[in-house]
Amino acid sequence: MSPKFLRCLTLMPLAGLLGGCNLVVMHPSGDIASQQSDLIVAATVLMLLIVLPVLFLVLFFAWKYRQSNTDAKYDPDWHHSTGLELVIWSAPLAIIIALGALTWVSAHTLDPYRPLDRIDAERVLPENAQPLQVEVVALDWKWLFFYPQYGIATVNELAAPVDAPINFKITSATVMNSFYVPALAGQIYAMAGMETQLHAVINKAGEYDGFSANYSGAGFSHMNFKFHGLSERDFDAWVMKVRTEGTILTRDDYLKIEKPSEDEPVRYFASYDDGLYKNILNMCVRPGKMCMSEMMHIDAMGGAGKESAHNVERLKYDAHQMEHRTEGSLVPASGPETEGNPQATKPQARAPDAEQKTAPDEQGHTMPGMHHDTDAPDH
């Protein structure tokens, strides 16, 4: 028995293992993921229209012009063929144009920020359909889901009714991460202080895997969760289960959950503090932190100049290295709170060694023509 044959026998068990792979990306259960799967197939077929003939011709020419084939024409002075040049350049150009048109249309149709207009290939989305709102927070190393329409929250478990549009708002309380449920839709990045979106729908009831698709540290491989596609009745029962078995998620509880941990079990919260997701997004859950929206408001108004010296501590956002400060050691952007001015937006406090006089362009954010109507989130 030849060594080559023995090597082939050794590789045969591997083929059996590959046969058990779950190709969920190519056989998903959500309409958005299905369209993405179709795009992968169409793009692959278009590319194979060039790749396969090229591979065939490579083998064909190697066989036809082998040294032992004396019947093959030998023409060492040949250097040009107009017809061959047209084929070589026109065929790939046509494929590139087709791929470009396909991906351009698909990139706009499957834009994760674009609201859904259909449930699946055969059903359009009713005009009165109310999407399920889910706010997603990536933590070290777990997922936190808020359901603002129901006032509940969960850790490492996600559920949605079948054939109902889902609007995800996604952020991170730590490093950059990626939210991915292959059966539902493509992966979407989660970044601290920023919010990304995803519109999707699940069309088949079942339990699906969700996980982080972006390396985020030691516990990355355990950053998984289950996504349940449920009927409307089962989804209502699931919401009732969360309300019955869940506890209250306060800011203090969230700060404990925020700490790095691995293999976090599923947890339910029957309610949570108002504005908690908004404060997570703005990186100001911890007492005394300046919200990102407040900082952007100050910047939009021209900056705070030297008057913002006391805001240094409030602008330190590293949750894993923050020291708990006493309430009196931090000064708001508007200076010390007073009875008539509990939380103004113009800094008034000065550093102890600050000069008493400042140039006109350093006097905070009262420059003419600057207006901002957005209120800062609650602290």
E strand intervals along the chain: 118-120, 123-124, 132-139, 142-147, 152-155, 157-161, 166-172, 177-180, 188-190, 196-200, 206-212, 224-230, 247-249, 267-272
Task: Return the closest-CA partner of residue 286 out of 307, 309, 258.
Answer: 258
Tell whether 335 is covered by a domain. yes
In whole angstroms, give the CA distance from residue 235 to residue 21.
Answer: 30
Same domain, 131 and 277: yes
Q: Are residues 145 and 47 in the same domain?
A: no
pLDDT of residue 183: 95
- Give the separation between CA 169 and CA 349, rounded to whole angstroms: 36
Residues 180 and 203 in one domain: yes
Q: Could you give the CA distance from residue 45 to residue 4 in angstroms, rounded to a whole number? A: 33
Instruction: Using a cut of 0.95, tell me whether the model's pTM lies above it.
Output: no
pLDDT on residue 95: 92
Based on the fold, state whether residues 51 and 149 are members of the same structural domain: no
- Residues contacting 369, CB < 8 A, separation 6+: none
Both 183 and 41 in one domain: the answer is: no
Can you tell me the distance from the alpha carbon of 328 to that of 93, in angstroms, rounded to the nearest whole number? 68
Domain that holds residue 357: 292-362
Is residue 277 located within the same domain as residue 212?
A: yes
Any domain includes 346: yes
At 327, is the pLDDT very low, low, confident or very high (cuts 50, 70, 90)? very low
Per-range mean pLDDT, top range of 3-12, 38-47, 233-242, 336-345:
233-242
Domain count, the chain: 3
- Between 248 and 299, the more confident residue is 248
Concatenate the DSSP letters of all residues of 160-183 into one string.
EETT--EEEEEEESSS-EEEE-TT
Question: What pLDDT sits at residue 9?
Answer: 61
Instruction: Report the Cα–Cα distance between both ends of the chain, in Å, rounded.
Output: 77
> pLDDT at position 347, please?
40
pLDDT computed for residue 301 by the predictor: 78
pLDDT at residue 303 in the model: 75
